[in-house]
Structure 1
Amino acid sequence: MLIYENTKSGLLKDILSDDLVSRIEAKYAAKGLGGVSPNEKRAWRNSFQYIHKVLAGSEIPDDAGVAIEFKIPLTSRRVDLMISGRDKDGNANVVVVELKQWEGEDTERVSGKDGIVETYVGGGIRETTHPSYQAWAYANFLRDFNIQIQETPINLHPVAYLHNYEPEYRSAIDNEIYAPYTEEAPLYLKGDAVEFRDYLEERIQVGDRGELLREIADSGLRPSKSLQDSVQEMLNGNHEFTLLDSQKVVFERAVELAEQCQEDGQKRVLLVEGEPGTGKTVVAINILAELLQNDLTAQYVSKNAAPRDVYEQKLRGDMMVKTINHLFKGAGSYVDEEANAVPALIADEAHRLNEESNFFGRGENQIMEIINAAQFSVFFIDESQRVHIDDIGSKDEIRKFADELGAEIKETALESQLRCGGSGDYIEWVDDVLEIGDTETPEDIGLDYDVRLFDSPETLHEAVERKNEQTDLSRVVAGYCWEWDTDGQSDPDYVDIEIGDYRRSWNLKSSDPWAIDEGSIDEVGCIHTCQGLEFDYVGVIIGPDLRYRNGEIITDYEERASSDRSVFGMKKMFDEEPEEAQELAGELIKNTYRTLMTRGMKGCYIYCCDDELQAYLQERLDAVAE
């Protein structure tokens, strides 16, 4: 989507007359994109004074095309500046410019993380993507999906310009660890205006009056052959993504419906229900890959970053360059998307979807936004895994918005049990023990599933460590009942969790997602870092938010850590609607432990902080073992 478009001479005139910011703001309003923040306006005023210095008096033609805040389809991202034209040989070129206000003093390189730098942004020192990576990623996304760029062809040239960045701090950002991106997207700092101008003059020698930019903005979407080949190569031979039984049935149904949507233009929704271990994510990834092979643009969507990060990592293998990361999107990515803008969206962990779509409170409802944006959408859901006060994902909500948006809805279920030793009885036992639903006690919990209670967190952790030596995929997790201090997130010696002599850290920041990082066996994960994932063996520490008294399971949200956002706002709800609040708090806490206790494919080891709950669970285990 083009927000502000002009020629080089028109842009310079708007900058010189101080009309640029008001013109961009007016374009935002005209396109219904909401208001513009004061910070954005300050950034435009600052950055484009420097762009004026680069362009004024240059040999770049006056009729070269210019776009500011170009919205990238299927994302919430916008390109700061694009300049279009042709070189002396007639090649169609578009320069993709990422502009930054950074000054450099607070910037540090981050080793061990691909394309990440630490600097002052958003009111504090934070990790963020390197500007060259950012420019490269935008260009890469457009190459992968924009038909006009693929067929013309149009050459994209990403570049980053940090006009305030002091050269004395260059080593922090122009470092060899970022070479894969700075080689693709050159980096220019304060004092590099002449070099940046030379770069532009070499590529833009004949003006096009913005024709190439309009062609890109008006183009349809289709996955490129190189993207299709990359995804297919990653899946081939990867047995983890093999489909079994009802997984194959759901996969074929989804592909069939997606193709029907393209043929007849009817919007459709497929609702897929599946308990833990039925392979929801495996099916979702396979649907994504198949639709891309069929020339349909598709994206995998989840609110929780953990499964996105892990499956993206598993697919890309040893590649450093993230050629597929734009296929994996957060659930808040479709706030401003037009109806049916993308052929297919595959929403995993749909029970985790929210109303507001980002930290700034934008968006109405993520379910509605996904259905609206996609011609065909798939929702994988397990309502018993709603674990956050803001989780609104339910079958009824999906049905409601499908009906409101004119979508034909189909429903199916995954039945094959892959986790928990293939034992559906174990999940029924967990549901019965935690008093979730009306499940009856099974006679046994599966001869092949290893479930045990440990009398201390130390012995539990030691047992899981021994299993991890055999499989390298066993982890310890806990209820979110201990504070997660941000000061210790990169310090392996920092202690968050103390239970008697047991002292461990919550999972640390790492280059790899926690679930598959080698060092994470020494740490403890929480619901937010393991939901949607699976391990061979899982050790579960049940915190004091779940107890057993007088023959009943008792939940206590006040035992949750204050850093746990999943119960943020619960106190106010208890003051206003105590009965509803108690019911919701109980549901969230029980669902949390149900989710944690069903992460293991081969076994679950348990320790309870509450002695009476420990005794009760042992009694229940003894009963099914007789």
Structure 2
Amino acid sequence: MSYLIADQVGRLAQLSPDDLVNKMLPPDSTHNFEEQRSWRESLYRLIQIVNTSGLSDLWLIAEYSLIGTHRIDAIICGFSRLFGRPLALIVESKQWNKIGDGGAQHADQVKMNFANEYRMHPVAQMFQYEHQLETNHSVVKADNIQLAVLAFMHNLPESQKPKLFTDEYRAFAQYAHLVFVKDDEARLTHYLGSLFKKCSGEQTAKQFLAGHYELSRADFFGITKILQRKDNAVMLADQIEVSLAFDQLCAEFKKNPRHMAMIVQGSAGTGKTIVGLHLEYLAVQRHLIPLRRTIFTFAKSRMLHNILGQAMSASGDPRQLPYLDMLSEHDYSLVIIDEAHRMSDVPQHIYTLVGPNTRPKILVFLVDDHQCVHVKECGTEFVLKCALLTAGITPVCKRLTVQKRCGFENHFTAVLRHLFFDEQTPSQEPAASQFQVTITDSLSAIDKRLKAHQEHGFSARWFAPMDWLRRRSREFGADDIFIRDHDGQEFSKEWHPYPHRLLYEWYKSQSAKVVDQVGSIYCAQGLDYDYTGFIWNDSLRWDARAKRWVYCEKEHQDLSFKLGITDALKVRNFNFPSGAVTTLVMNQYYILLSRARRGTYIWFKDAATKRHVYDVLHAAHIL
């Protein structure tokens, strides 16, 4: 993870405020005036206090990035006075000089001295950062560095401080001693002296900076935690913004019950399902909406439906989760729809849920426009907005952009979106990542690697487009996929288990035998694995002369997909734009290629397609 400065406090203390800012500004700086003012005032003052406390040998790391745009203002590194262990002190700095009156909509947010402007409570902020490091920072997670926290609010008068710990903020009162305000320098000096030994903090700083972010597994089994009144996952980066927006929506709903909606758009791996489960937790625990009046449902996915249903059953919850098509209005106050992009009749679904004489409710749609895979799937953000506005509901729209599946520092999914949909890739070169992409000409080599990963405790699966028919007879060992590899060897596999009720075991299995079965688009959406192998056959090829993707219908054996197109063309006035079929197939490839958390292996049948993909990945520093 990146940072702007890491140095000994004594050396930093010799800099003037302007010199400190200049030392921190990178050549291609995008840091605005307010950030620079914070460094010039708050950070400079913090450094002087630490230095005059007799702790000049400690080290300070400034603007340490977490995920996305979130950064820790300062981390002071040294050794614990009590235990002698490496210690990192998280400092959350605020420039506030007044707390607004009238209260906030939730205790995590503080009303500023401006109309309708809210900021996260400093205590909530510092503990959130601590939780993120404990959960995802490799060195901290391994308990090699102890953490401590404080909030530094040197502009806030002492008379304003009680507002942070009364009324709706009472829960934070026990941490008031960790918040240091104006004229609190003597108390801060004493606190720092009680934490740190008077010795060099260089070793701790370097150890901390050598750590990397590790993605903690948070999947559909998080539903069991919600049913036990526990949270399912730590919200990270843009997920936090979605949670805060949902908090405000719930607060408004409680004051004035009416139909409301939120659309959360996010590409593959940004954690839409995890966010959805977390929002259900917030509704039940924080806003006291009865669990029986909340429902987490799916537009279509039988795979996800089975996995979530069996996870709920394992937790002792007897509820049955209906598909959206089977969902009656009932008396729900919250309906969360995952895979909403797969909805086929958006206006009718919305009418059923929020039509005349229905109970006021909040609708949450989890969407990725590029994961529509059949011609009748039309639950895009635009279509949802139009249908909601027609129903008299103005939705709150939020976007998840930070990749959380294949490593926080990896932009493989963004590059896939550029490859298929010409979306702009991140302008900056990605930081070093543990995620690996390997292009190889040997299917058997990939197979050996996947089985080795599976045998060593990692999850590994094959995926491929539906370019081979599934055998009607399911005798054991009857293969469906036959390929003559580039070296002339025969390669064969069978498709994943069917019917879908059998996929739960395939998804969670740790047996190496699952590598002998290949996953398709019908068991991929919403799920991920440590490693994947992808067979890029000829149903989607790159036309180097025309410089465009081409759908090869004769290679594609997905009968359900083709039948849907045939049926759609029979419907009068059906809007079927040119290139729509190719786009749907590109969506399928995009989904299948984005299932891995640690690494993916890709085999190509077509040389021109391989060359194009290689060039795009190489230009994006993926290979």
**TM > 0.5 fold call:** yes
The equivalent residue for 1:448 is 434
Aligned pair partner of 2:345 in 340, 345, 355 = 355
Measure, in 1, the Cα distance between the counterparts of 2:543 and 2:349. 39
Distance 1:586 1:437, change over 3 A: farther
Distance 1:266 1:542, change over 3 A: same
TM-score normalised by length of structure 1: 0.55
Aligned pair partner of 2:336 in 346, 355, 378 = 346
Q: Is residue 589 from structure 1 mapped to residue 585 from structure 2 by the alignment?
A: yes
Deviation at 1:609, TM superposition (A): 2.2
Measure, in 2, the Cα distance between the counterparts of 1:407 and 1:579. 25
The equivalent residue for 1:271 is 263
User: Do the aligned residues in 2 keep the contact of 1:274 with 1:413 (CA within 8 Å)?
Assistant: yes
Distance 1:526 1:549, change over 3 A: same
Distance 1:446 1:401, change over 3 A: farther
Distance 1:398 1:581, change over 3 A: closer
Instruction: Tell me how many residue pairs correspond in the alignment.
Output: 381
The equivalent residue for 1:503 is 492
Deviation at 1:237, TM superposition (A): 8.2
Secondary structure class of the residue paired with 1:585: helix
The equivalent residue for 1:304 is 301
User: Do the aligned residues in 1 keep the contact of 2:528 with 2:596 (CA within 8 Å)?
Assistant: yes
Equivalent residue runs for 1:100-499 within 5 Å = 231-232=225-226, 236=230, 241-293=233-285, 294-296=288-290, 297-302=293-298, 303-314=300-311, 317=314, 323-326=317-320, 328-334=321-327, 337=329, 341-355=331-345, 365-372=348-355, 375-423=361-409, 425-439=411-425, 443=429, 447-488=433-474, 491-499=475-483
Measure, in 2, the Cα distance between the counterparts of 1:387 and 1:417. 21
Q: Is residue 614 from structure 1 mapped to residue 600 from structure 2 by the alignment?
A: no
Measure, in 2, the Cα distance between the counterparts of 1:480 and 1:324. 35
TM-score normalised by length of structure 2: 0.55
Deviation at 1:309, TM superposition (A): 2.5
Distance 1:468 1:497, change over 3 A: same
User: Do the aligned residues in 2 keep the contact of 1:433 with 1:617 (CA within 8 Å)?
Assistant: yes
Measure, in 2, the Cα distance between the counterparts of 1:237 and 1:405. 33
User: Do the aligned residues in 2 keep the contact of 1:481 with 1:543 (CA within 8 Å)?
Assistant: yes
Secondary structure class of the residue paired with 2:375: coil
The more displaced of 607-616 and 387-396 is 607-616
Secondary structure class of the residue paired with 1:323: coil
Distance 1:592 1:230, change over 3 A: closer
User: Do the aligned residues in 2 keep the contact of 1:387 with 1:592 (CA within 8 Å)?
Assistant: yes
Secondary structure class of the residue paired with 1:377: strand
Deviation at 1:478, TM superposition (A): 0.7
Secondary structure class of the residue paired with 1:378: strand
Measure, in 2, the Cα distance between the counterparts of 1:486 and 1:310. 25
Secondary structure class of the residue paired with 1:422: coil
Q: Is residue 522 from structure 1 mapped to residue 516 from structure 2 by the alignment?
A: yes
The equivalent residue for 1:512 is 504
User: Do the aligned residues in 1 keep the contact of 2:539 with 2:556 (CA within 8 Å)?
Assistant: no
Deviation at 1:397, TM superposition (A): 1.5
User: Do the aligned residues in 1 keep the contact of 2:466 with 2:557 (CA within 8 Å)?
Assistant: no
Distance 1:287 1:616, change over 3 A: same
Secondary structure class of the residue paired with 2:609: helix
Measure, in 1, the Cα distance between the counterparts of 2:309 and 2:562. 29
Deviation at 1:483, TM superposition (A): 1.0
The equivalent residue for 2:553 is 558
Measure, in 1, the Cα distance between the counterparts of 2:556 and 2:405. 29
Secondary structure class of the residue paired with 1:390: coil
Distance 1:234 1:546, change over 3 A: farther
Measure, in 2, the Cα distance between the counterparts of 1:309 and 1:525. 16
Distance 1:278 1:287, change over 3 A: same
Which whole-Å deviations, capped at 9, do the CAs of 1:69-98 have from their partners, x for residues lacking one? xxxxxxxxxxxxxxxxxxxxxxxxxxxxxx
Secondary structure class of the residue paired with 1:434: helix
User: Do the aligned residues in 2 keep the contact of 1:258 with 1:343 (CA within 8 Å)?
Assistant: no
The more displaced of 590-599 and 466-475 is 466-475
User: Do the aligned residues in 2 keep the contact of 1:266 with 1:407 (CA within 8 Å)?
Assistant: no
Residue identity matched to 1:332: D
Measure, in 2, the Cα distance between the counterparts of 1:350 and 1:538. 25
Which whole-Å deviations, capped at 9, do the CAs of 1:420-474 have from their partners, x for residues lacking one? 2224532232122224445578756853220011213322222222222234322
Measure, in 1, the Cα distance between the counterparts of 2:447 and 2:350. 39
Distance 1:446 1:583, change over 3 A: farther
Residue identity matched to 2:549: I
Measure, in 2, the Cα distance between the counterparts of 1:543 and 1:371. 44
Secondary structure class of the residue paired with 1:512: helix
Measure, in 2, the Cα distance between the counterparts of 1:614 and 1:487. 34
Distance 1:435 1:278, change over 3 A: closer
Deviation at 1:578, TM superposition (A): 12
Secondary structure class of the residue paired with 1:493: coil
The equivalent residue for 1:180 is none
The equivalent residue for 1:568 is 563
The equivalent residue for 1:208 is none
Deviation at 1:536, TM superposition (A): 1.3
Distance 1:439 1:368, change over 3 A: farther
Equivalent residue runs for 1:34-45 within 5 Å = none
Secondary structure class of the residue paired with 1:332: helix
Deviation at 1:389, TM superposition (A): 1.0
Residue identity matched to 2:495: W
Which whole-Å deviations, capped at 9, do the CAs of 1:8-62 have from their partners, x for residues lacking one? xxxxxxxxxxxxxxxxxxxxxxxxxxxxxxxxxxxxxxxxxxxxxxxxxxxxxxx
Measure, in 1, the Cα distance between the counterparts of 2:263 and 2:223. 29
Deviation at 1:623, TM superposition (A): 3.9
The equivalent residue for 1:548 is 542
Deviation at 1:506, TM superposition (A): 0.7
The more displaced of 264-273 and 249-258 is 249-258
Unaligned runs of 5+ in 1: 1-227, 357-363
RMSD over aligned Cα, in angstroms? 3.3
Residue identity matched to 1:470: H
Measure, in 2, the Cα distance between the counterparts of 1:424 and 1:366. 37
Secondary structure class of the residue paired with 2:258: coil
Deviation at 1:262, TM superposition (A): 4.2
